[in-house]
Structure 1
Amino acid sequence: MTGIERRRRWSDEEKLSVLSQVGVDGETVAGVARRHDITRQHIYQWRREMRRKGLMSPRDPMLVPVEITEDAAPDRDNDHPDPVDHVELVLTNGRSLRARATMSDAQWIRLIRIAEAA
């Protein structure tokens, strides 16, 4: 033996980075834990800790009802509506996200998790 092995200390930013990887592109807790050489229990414990500190939303992103209204702008040409190139989401914590409408579900999930963890 060459010395004493010490436990690794993880900052909140590092923990949030690891936590944000779970669920992206189908990534599992076990897969993320394995990649970072930690146990699955670390991830579950970190989730509780980050939620307790208010650094992570108390629950996973969820779908909410949406009401679609007709645009009342009188000068708009309804024969050739403008294509939608951006989408804006307002999160439960009040933050707004605006991104390309062509983003994949996995990209949206990652963006939402990062915004809620910030």
Structure 2
Amino acid sequence: MHMTVISGPERRRRWSAAEREEIVLASLAPGAVIAEIARQFDVSTSLIYKWRRDAQQPGAVFVPAVMAEDEGSMPDVLRDGRADSPVIRLKLAGGTTMSIAATAPARLVLAVLRALR
């Protein structure tokens, strides 16, 4: 009887949660091309799309966030009297923007974010 042993790297790669998060966040960046991200990280494009779908499910562990310095588009009602007060701005589907003052209670912010899932 003849037996062939194939050695080398494992056939299936294992991706840590941190690696998956990095790849998904890179794929969600403005102007990102999934095929380029896939080549950069040596991963299948279909796997990136699967991880993106998984990240949108309830109980997902991360959400992409972008720090923006552009205060010119902030509504005047939020700027008046509180120029130094931080604001959380969310861009929703359809181009709608929602703002939450930094002084909002944590329970209120959590309730709003859960409702938007």
| TM-score computed with the length of structure 1 as normaliser | 0.47
TM-score, with normalisation over the residues of structure 2? 0.48
Higher relative contact order (CA 8 A, sep 6+): 1
